Amino acid sequence: MLSEMQARRGRMRVKLQIQLAFAQGFIKPFLVKQQMRINVMRFGIVRFKFDSTFYLLYAFGKIPLVAQHIAEREMRFAERVVKFQVVFSVLFSAQRTLLAQENSLRDVSGTLWVTNKTLNNVVAFDAATGDVLTTIPVGGMPIGITAPKGTGKVYISNEDGNSVSVISKATLSVITTIQLGAGTKPHHVNASADGRYVFVAEFGTNKIAMIDTLTDTLSVLTASTSPTAKTHAVWVTESGIVYAANTVINQIAAIDPLSNTILREITVGVSPSEVLVTHNEKTAYVSVRGENKLKVFNLVTGEIVDEIVVGTQPDTLRLTPDGKTMVITLRGTPAQISIVNLFNHLSVQTVDIVHGTMTGHHWLSNNGRYSFVAVERPGGVAIIDNHAAQVITTYVYPGAQTDSRPHGVFYEPLNLETNFE
């Protein structure tokens, strides 16, 4: 049994170390449900048990666990009984900090570009606050959008207009419109890593429009050996190889854009929507809309290595920087996204978005913490914390709401964000 003096001295040391850690910024209070156990005892006291699993405070990064040091240095005795009044203020402060973090976008800055397929315009939001920076009219039924690196321009595919609108970020206006031809139905877009080229999938043909961003001149790539294929989406690897998701024939294709040569075609399943290729170019992820699945392919062998049902009509794919999580928009009703854990074996968690009836496209913050998801009817952009699998807030799309259908999304950070882990 501890003497009263020993107990008082232990409590004071714990309190002083916690206050010092707060003051020096070494820790962030974080009440992790799986990491803390509080046993409410009689007589108005709380007992904290510290071991290899349960901690009161967690120190992020490479800094040692403060609570673990307390456990080792100050809590060597069996269990420390601490008066509730001593720790209540710490707990309350931690809870308030956690709530504040949940309702703010940590390490997010820059511009969120969003198209609206019924209002025929593009809105630029302040990514951190949701403030509307500008609204710019474009062509008929704008779908995809990208802001290629170093160009000072934004490119929008107009499906009904069979064109690509080019916006100057300096003037915030359309400076040119590139005509792709009748029936081309330009759809998903992507840009090369260096920003030199924009690639536009033509959903009315088996072609890809390739735009040189220096001159805004147009070339056309063949995306499939089958003339009946409809090219829904395009992906560009870091080495410059272009991948296309081709519906009707249910394949993905790898294309060399310099020689306009199809390198290979792989059958993937009914109605592929998007394809995403990893940095090492050995793995391809494909959203297969007709089967409600995410499929994983080995690009060395061309064989499927894994698959999982993710929800109704999976569409756009975004991979977190650590390669462990895939975020997928779903084109069913109600509005939902799926967060897929890729580590060890595939598992999926679905997030409901109550603001709208269906999702459009999406983008991730640079650190992978947040998803920016276009939501239709009423129009908006849902901001989702991928760690918590929860909607934090929704930015309302300006203009008519009853038939507002935001669709394409591109996030352009003001500066490089920090890792959220």
Residue 73 parent element (H or E): helix 66-73
Residue 87 has pLDDT above 60, yes or no: no
pLDDT at site 146:
98
Residue 9 binned pLDDT confidence (cut-offs 50, 70, 90)? low
Residue 420 has pLDDT above 50, yes or no: no
Residue 26 has pLDDT above 90, yes or no: no
Residue 69 has pLDDT above 50, yes or no: no
Angle subtended by helix axes 84-102 and 4-24, to nearest 10:
20
DSSP 268-298: --SSEEEEEE-TTSSEEEEEEGGGTEEEEEE
Q: Please tell me the distance from the alpha carbon of residue 367 to that of residue 350, in angstroms, as a whole number.
A: 21
Residue 99 binned pLDDT confidence (cut-offs 50, 70, 90)? very low
At 201-220, the pLDDT tens digits run: 999 999 999 999 999 999 99
- Pairing relation of β-strands 272-277 and 261-267? unpaired
Residue 83 has pLDDT above 90, yes or no: no
Q: How far is CA 346 from CA 308, 325, 384, in A?
A: 7, 10, 21
With a pLDDT cut of 90, the percent of the chain lying above it is 69
Taking the chain, what is the end-to-end CA distance rounded to the nearest angstrom? 41
Higher-confidence residue of 101 and 249: namely 249
Residue 31 has pLDDT above 70, yes or no: no
pLDDT at site 402:
74
Q: Please tell me the distance from the alpha carbon of residue 280 to that of residue 122, in angstroms, as a whole number.
A: 34
The answer to whether the beta carbons of residues 380 and 394 sit under 8 Å apart is yes
Q: Please tell me the distance from the alpha carbon of residue 286 to that of residue 274, in angstroms, as a whole number.
A: 6
Residue 106 has pLDDT above 60, yes or no: yes
**Is the pTM higher than 0.85?**
no
Residue 263 has pLDDT above 90, yes or no: yes
Fold classified for 111-412: Methylamine Dehydrogenase; Chain H (2.130.10)
- What is the arithmetic mean of pLDDT over 324-328? 97
Higher-confidence residue of 15 and 334: namely 334
In this structure, of 57-61, 152-156, 260-264, 311-315, the range with the lowest mean pLDDT score is 57-61
Residue 89 has pLDDT above 70, yes or no: no
At 273-308, the pLDDT tens digits run: 999 999 999 999 999 999 999 999 999 999 999 999
Question: What are residue 176's DSSP bridge partners?
Answer: 166
Higher-confidence residue of 12 and 56: namely 12
From-to residues of CATH 2.130.10.10 in the chain: 111-412
- What is the arithmetic mean of pLDDT over 335-357? 93
- What is the arithmetic mean of pLDDT over 185-193? 98
CB atoms within 10 A of CB 259: 9
In this structure, of 10-24, 104-118, 295-309, the range with the lowest mean pLDDT score is 10-24
At 370-419, the pLDDT tens digits run: 999 999 989 999 999 999 999 999 999 998 777 899 999 999 998 533 33
Residue 355 binned pLDDT confidence (cut-offs 50, 70, 90)? confident
Q: Please tell me the distance from the alpha carbon of residue 296 to that of residue 319, in angstroms, as a whole number.
A: 13
Residue 94 has pLDDT above 60, yes or no: no
* Closest alpha carbon to 187 in 408, 15, 349, 17: 408
pLDDT at site 7:
54
Produce one character per residue of 310-347: b if its CB has 16 or more CB atoms within 10 Å, e if not: bbbbbbbbbbbbeeebbbbbbbbeebbbbbbebeeebe
Query: Residue with structure tokens 């511009």?
Result: 111
Q: What is the CA radius of gyration of the chain?
A: 26
